Amino acid sequence: MYSRSVGIKNLISSAIVRRRLSLTARNFQEESAVVETREVTKDRSQQVPLETSLRYLKSAAYKQTYGNQPVWVPYRRNHKGAIPPRHTRKTCIRNEEISTGNPCPICRDELALCWATAKLGFAEGDNWSWKFALRELMTMDY
Protein backbone atom coordinates (compact mmCIF):
# COMPACT_ATOMS: atom_id res chain seq x y z
CA MET A 1 0.00 0.00 0.00
CA TYR A 2 2.81 2.37 0.93
CA SER A 3 4.71 1.81 -2.30
CA ARG A 4 1.53 2.26 -4.33
CA SER A 5 0.75 5.67 -2.75
CA VAL A 6 4.33 6.81 -3.30
CA GLY A 7 4.02 5.77 -6.93
CA ILE A 8 0.81 7.77 -7.35
CA LYS A 9 2.39 10.83 -5.70
CA ASN A 10 5.39 10.55 -8.00
CA LEU A 11 3.11 10.18 -11.00
CA ILE A 12 1.07 13.25 -10.03
CA SER A 13 4.14 15.35 -9.21
CA SER A 14 5.90 14.31 -12.42
CA ALA A 15 2.78 15.25 -14.42
CA ILE A 16 2.72 18.67 -12.72
CA VAL A 17 6.42 19.17 -13.36
CA ARG A 18 6.02 18.17 -17.02
CA ARG A 19 3.10 20.57 -17.38
CA ARG A 20 5.12 23.42 -15.87
CA LEU A 21 8.11 22.62 -18.06
CA SER A 22 5.99 22.48 -21.19
CA LEU A 23 4.36 25.81 -20.35
CA THR A 24 7.74 27.31 -19.55
CA ALA A 25 9.19 26.02 -22.81
CA ARG A 26 6.20 27.40 -24.75
CA ASN A 27 6.51 30.81 -23.06
CA PHE A 28 10.25 30.84 -23.71
CA GLN A 29 9.67 30.09 -27.40
CA GLU A 30 7.10 32.87 -27.65
CA GLU A 31 9.40 35.33 -25.89
CA SER A 32 12.40 34.40 -28.00
CA ALA A 33 10.44 35.11 -31.17
CA VAL A 34 9.77 38.69 -30.00
CA VAL A 35 13.39 39.55 -29.14
CA GLU A 36 14.73 42.36 -31.30
CA THR A 37 18.33 43.16 -32.03
CA ARG A 38 19.61 46.67 -31.64
CA GLU A 39 22.88 48.36 -32.32
CA VAL A 40 25.61 48.44 -29.73
CA THR A 41 25.39 51.80 -28.01
CA LYS A 42 28.98 51.69 -26.80
CA ASP A 43 30.32 51.74 -30.35
CA ARG A 44 32.10 55.02 -31.12
CA SER A 45 33.67 54.13 -34.47
CA GLN A 46 31.32 56.46 -36.40
CA GLN A 47 32.58 60.02 -36.51
CA VAL A 48 29.75 62.55 -36.08
CA PRO A 49 30.08 65.59 -38.38
CA LEU A 50 30.73 68.98 -36.80
CA GLU A 51 27.49 70.43 -38.20
CA THR A 52 25.44 67.65 -36.59
CA SER A 53 27.06 68.27 -33.22
CA LEU A 54 26.40 72.00 -33.44
CA ARG A 55 22.74 71.39 -34.39
CA TYR A 56 22.42 69.03 -31.42
CA LEU A 57 23.83 71.68 -29.06
CA LYS A 58 21.06 74.04 -30.21
CA SER A 59 18.24 71.44 -30.14
CA ALA A 60 15.43 70.88 -27.65
CA ALA A 61 16.79 67.39 -26.88
CA TYR A 62 20.02 68.91 -25.59
CA LYS A 63 18.06 71.44 -23.50
CA GLN A 64 15.93 68.66 -22.02
CA THR A 65 18.95 66.52 -21.16
CA TYR A 66 21.36 69.14 -19.79
CA GLY A 67 19.23 72.25 -19.26
CA ASN A 68 21.18 75.51 -19.29
CA GLN A 69 24.28 73.90 -17.80
CA PRO A 70 27.34 72.52 -19.57
CA VAL A 71 27.42 68.75 -20.18
CA TRP A 72 29.85 67.99 -17.38
CA VAL A 73 27.91 69.66 -14.52
CA PRO A 74 25.59 66.71 -13.63
CA TYR A 75 28.46 64.20 -14.00
CA ARG A 76 29.93 62.52 -10.94
CA ARG A 77 32.52 59.81 -11.45
CA ASN A 78 31.97 56.62 -9.46
CA HIS A 79 34.99 55.26 -7.66
CA LYS A 80 35.83 52.56 -5.19
CA GLY A 81 36.24 53.62 -1.57
CA ALA A 82 35.91 56.96 0.16
CA ILE A 83 38.90 58.65 -1.47
CA PRO A 84 38.49 59.63 -5.14
CA PRO A 85 41.27 58.81 -7.62
CA ARG A 86 44.02 61.42 -7.88
CA HIS A 87 44.25 61.37 -11.66
CA THR A 88 41.51 61.57 -14.23
CA ARG A 89 41.18 59.06 -17.04
CA LYS A 90 42.96 59.81 -20.28
CA THR A 91 39.98 58.52 -22.24
CA CYS A 92 36.81 56.49 -21.77
CA ILE A 93 37.00 55.10 -25.30
CA ARG A 94 39.43 52.31 -26.16
CA ASN A 95 39.41 50.44 -29.48
CA GLU A 96 36.50 52.63 -30.68
CA GLU A 97 34.23 51.43 -27.86
CA ILE A 98 33.30 52.83 -24.45
CA SER A 99 35.38 50.72 -22.09
CA THR A 100 34.34 52.08 -18.70
CA GLY A 101 31.20 51.61 -16.66
CA ASN A 102 30.78 55.32 -15.99
CA PRO A 103 32.07 57.31 -18.98
CA CYS A 104 32.48 61.06 -18.91
CA PRO A 105 29.64 63.09 -20.50
CA ILE A 106 31.51 63.93 -23.69
CA CYS A 107 32.36 60.27 -24.34
CA ARG A 108 28.89 59.12 -23.28
CA ASP A 109 26.87 61.46 -25.49
CA GLU A 110 27.88 60.65 -29.05
CA LEU A 111 26.26 63.80 -30.46
CA ALA A 112 27.93 66.17 -28.02
CA LEU A 113 30.77 68.17 -29.42
CA CYS A 114 34.05 66.39 -28.76
CA TRP A 115 37.58 67.59 -29.31
CA ALA A 116 38.06 65.46 -32.43
CA THR A 117 35.08 66.95 -34.28
CA ALA A 118 35.74 70.46 -32.98
CA LYS A 119 39.30 70.34 -34.26
CA LEU A 120 38.00 69.71 -37.79
CA GLY A 121 36.42 73.16 -37.89
CA PHE A 122 39.70 75.04 -37.35
CA ALA A 123 43.06 75.42 -39.03
CA GLU A 124 45.45 72.47 -38.87
CA GLY A 125 48.20 74.08 -36.80
CA ASP A 126 45.97 76.29 -34.67
CA ASN A 127 45.72 74.28 -31.43
CA TRP A 128 44.86 77.11 -29.05
CA SER A 129 41.82 78.45 -30.90
CA TRP A 130 39.95 75.16 -31.19
CA LYS A 131 40.44 74.39 -27.49
CA PHE A 132 39.20 77.85 -26.56
CA ALA A 133 36.25 77.59 -28.96
CA LEU A 134 35.31 74.18 -27.58
CA ARG A 135 35.25 75.58 -24.05
CA GLU A 136 33.18 78.55 -25.20
CA LEU A 137 30.70 76.37 -27.10
CA MET A 138 30.14 74.09 -24.12
CA THR A 139 29.46 76.98 -21.75
CA MET A 140 27.31 79.09 -24.10
CA ASP A 141 23.66 79.59 -23.27
CA TYR A 142 21.74 78.86 -26.49
Contacts of 96 (CB under 8 A, 6+ apart): 43, 44, 45
Q: How confident is the model at residue 113 (pLDDT cuts 50, 70, 90)?
A: low
Specify which residues 98 forms β-bridges with. 93
How does pLDDT run across 70-97, given as a tens digit for each residue? Answer: 777 777 777 888 888 888 777 787 888 8
Within this chain, do residues 22 and 70 fall inside the same structural domain, yes or no?
A: no
| Residue 123, phi then psi, degrees to nearest 5 | -65, 155
pTM across the whole model:
0.47
- Radius of gyration for the chain, computed over Cα atoms and rounded to the nearest angstrom: 27
* DSSP summary character for residue 85: P
pLDDT top residue among 121 and 61 = 61
Domain extent for 14: 1-37
Task: Give the residue with greater pLDDT, 16 vs 81.
Answer: 81
Q: Is residue 43 part of a domain?
A: no
Asked, for residue 21, whether it belongs to a domain, the answer is: yes
CA geometry: angle 40, 44, 46, nearest 5 deg: 105
Look at 113 and 61; give whichever has higher pLDDT: 61
Q: How many domains does the chain have?
A: 2
